DNA sequence: CCCTGATTCGC
DNA sequence: GCGAATCAGG
């Protein structure tokens, strides 16, 4: 693939919109993220004007997940409560505790009380791979409605985020309130 | 481990 | 000019 005017324009556009190099590479197709970064530098449009897209996004994600993990109302209070009841377990060990989730309007997930749901690591579609869990898309307690990347993969039977819980027969899992 | 952008340097 | 490899960082 060569850098046609069109592709360069799209690159400029996406870069200015804050997409990461890898995301842009995926959009363009036929090029690696390194190629994108290299081109960006050659075009001398490195600095993306606004605030760092990476950091901004991370912070937003954390804030949102904290809010979602809380029980509906209060804002700052929620964050605190969640953090105290759930130290830094947002990874694999998080779901060793039983939990319950319930989809509310749109894609809002609301866990029960002091339960942790690993939705903090939201990734863009382009960042998903065989190794990244794709939950929440559906109900983690329902096998037929749980789309976990590792769940169906032959390589690893365990989901990094759901641990064994995600693979127990639905009948053996129990919701706890 | 996943990811990010920055830089280098052979082609 | 290009981009893989590498680096430094989150």
Report yes or no: A141 and A100 within 8 Å, Cβ to Cβ: yes
Which nucleotides of strand B come closer than 7 angstroms to any CB of the protein?
A: 1-8
| pTM to 2 decimal places | 0.41
User: What integer is the mean pLDDT of A52-56?
Assistant: 38
- Quick one: which of A47, A38, A48, A42 has its CA closest to A18? A48
CA angle (A166, A168, A173) in 5-degree steps: 90
CB < 7 Å to strand C — which of 77-116 in chain A? Answer: none
Residues with CB under 7 A from strand B: A 20-23, 33-34, 37-38, 40-41, 46-47, 53-54, 127, 129, 131-132
Cis amide linkage into residue A136, ω under 30° from 0: yes
Mean pLDDT for chain A? 51
| Dihedral (CA of A150, A124, A109, A58) sign | positive
In this prediction, residue A116 carries a pLDDT of 35
Strands A108-109 vs A103-104: parallel, antiparallel or unpaired: antiparallel
In this prediction, residue A27 carries a pLDDT of 79
- Measuring alpha carbon to C1', the residue closest to nucleotide B3 is A127
- Tell me how far apart the alpha carbons of residues A77 and A93 are, in angstroms, rounded to a whole number: 24
User: What integer is the mean pLDDT of A78-97?
Assistant: 34
> Can you give the distance from the CA of residue A26 to the C1' of nucleotide C2 in angstroms?
18
> Can you give the distance from the CA of residue A42 to the C1' of nucleotide B8 in angstroms?
14
Check if residue A63 sits with its Cβ under 7 angstroms from strand C: no
């Amino acid at each position: 693939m060569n850098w046609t005017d069109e592709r360069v324009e799209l690159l400029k556009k996406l870069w200015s919109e804050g997409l990461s190099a890898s995301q842009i590479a995926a959009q363009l197709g036929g090029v690696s993220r390194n190629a994108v970064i290299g081109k960006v530098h050659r075009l001398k449009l490195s600095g993306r004007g606004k605030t760092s897209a990476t950091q901004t996004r991370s912070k937003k994600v954390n804030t949102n997940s904290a809010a979602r993990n809380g029980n509906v109302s209060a804002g700052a209070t929620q964050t605190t409560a969640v953090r105290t009841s759930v130290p830094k377990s947002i990874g694999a060990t998080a779901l060793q505790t039983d939990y319950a989730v319930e989809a509310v309007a749109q894609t809002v997930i609301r866990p029960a009380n002091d339960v942790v749901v690993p939705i903090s690591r939201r990734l863009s579609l382009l960042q998903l791979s065989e190794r990244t869990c794709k939950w929440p898309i559906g109900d983690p307690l329902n096998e037929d409605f749980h789309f976990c990347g590792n769940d169906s993969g032959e390589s690893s039977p365990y989901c990094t985020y759901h641990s064994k819980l995600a693979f127990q027969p639905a009948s053996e899992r129990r919701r706890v309130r």
